Structure 1
Amino acid sequence: MKKIFCNIFGHHYTVSKKITLHIKEYKCIHCGKQVTTDVSGNLSNLTPELREINATLEHIYQKKHSASHQAA
Structure 2
Amino acid sequence: MKTSTSSQTNSVSKLYCSIFGHQYDVTKLVTKHVKEYTCKCCKKQLTTNSNGNLTELTPTFQEINSILEYIHSKRMSRLKQKMYTTTAA
Structure 1: segments with no counterpart, 5+ residues:
none
- For the pair shown, the structure with the greater C-alpha radius of gyration is 2
Greater than 2 Å deviation, 4+ residue runs: none
The structure, 1 or 2, with the larger RCO (C-alpha pairs under 8 Å, 6+ apart) is 1
- Computed over aligned residues only, the root mean square deviation of the Cα atoms, in angstroms, reads 0.4
TM-score when normalising by structure 2: 0.80
Structure 2: segments with no counterpart, 5+ residues:
1-11, 84-89
Aligned-partner Cα distance in 2 for 1:10–1:45 = 15
Count residues with an aligned counterpart: 72
TM-score when normalising by structure 1: 0.98
- Which is helix-richer, 1 or 2? 2
Question: Aligned-pair distance for 1:47?
Answer: 0.1
